[in-house]
Amino acid sequence: MRIVDAVSVVVCNYNGERYLAQCLDAVRGLGSRVEEVIVVDNASTDGSAALIASRYPEVELIRMPSNGGPCVARNAGMRAARNRWVLALDNDAIPRPDVLEKLCAALEAHPDAVAAQTRNVFAAEESRVHYDGADFHYLGLLALRNFYRPLAEAEGKGVIAAHGLIAIAILLDRDAVLSCGGYDEDFFILFEDFDLALRLKIAGHGILSVEDAICLHQGGTPGISFRGGTYPKIRAFYHSRNRWLLIVKNYRWRTVLVALPGIALYELVWLAFTLRKGHFRAHLAGKLSFAAALGKVRAKRRRTQGARRVRDRELLIGGPLTFSPELLQSAPWRALARALDWTFSAWWSLARNLSA
């Protein structure tokens, strides 16, 4: 049995002054396994750095020269950490005091696993789940577990094997993660945690969800995070681009071929969504950016496929899709969502055994 002893906490921050105090106060309560705390700041323009200097002298602050996105910050924090085990937190995460002990115990009991994540509930509504791990949908999407479900009704107990990671609060084997390439810094935002988790699973590593390790999740980054209401244009761009970066980089070509009818239908649905939201130009720009990146993607693909130990058909599922609750408020939209989900699932039930 391995021992998870000293832990480095790495907090990713961009203009998170409103959140940092609650996050770092919670870190102080995580116990004696925490040996160091690092905040990697992506060139914030608010008072984040001054807050850390005045109230958290024990925290090491790494100031990035520009905002390269959370992937850059997370990788920099892992490389700077003194310890193999890194608790990676977003700045709007508030882990409960027993979280680290539960994550450590889970990894100690499952030596094949290299990451253990929390169950994340809304800080403003602690009785409702926000993110709780995910499965890999063949469309290049995460099928989120327990999304917006009341905590009392959430499925899953104890420590369970998981596929997808949600980058809010994760205890990572830094060495294993970096050996798989770390976070792909070309993603900037969106799909970056899906991409990392998929590469880890392809290489044969285990991922855990610890259902009684509860982390409160606050409001995210204004203009980037989506909690309903106006869908940000920047997300339309990165959704259009990064989903295809993930598929081309990680799927076997035969998998792409047999999944293509479902993928094409989803493309049409998403195009209609961006038109409705007024983001068609961002959608198109994302596709052009993906095309321009193909040369670099091919090199990354060779690395991913060279490390492959697990087939796509063992990792990818056909449903259910995850829809924002905002889209399901009317009966016609609920009917459309059910029809799409049935169609995508039906196709994968036919195509899965033909995938690589």
pLDDT in tens, 182-203: 999 999 999 999 999 999 999 9
- The full set of domain ranges for the chain reads 7-217, 233-354
What's the pLDDT score for residue 113?
98
Cα 207 vs. chain centroid, distance in angstroms?
Answer: 13
Q: Is the pTM of this model over 0.85?
A: yes
Q: pLDDT under 70 in the chain at which residues?
A: 220-229, 326-327
Sheet of 141-144, strands arranged across:
141-144, 134-137, 316-317
For the domain made up of 7-217, the CATH class stated in words is alpha beta
What's the pLDDT score for residue 324?
76
pLDDT tens string 295-328: 999 999 999 999 999 999 999 999 999 887 766 7
pLDDT tens string 4-15: 989 999 999 999
What's the pLDDT score for residue 329?
74
**Rounded to an integer, what distance in angstroms lies between the CA atom of residue 339 and that of residue 326?**
18
DSSP 186: T
Query: Virtual CA dihedral for 148, 151, 153, 154, nearest 10 degrees?
Result: 70
What's the pLDDT score for residue 227?
56
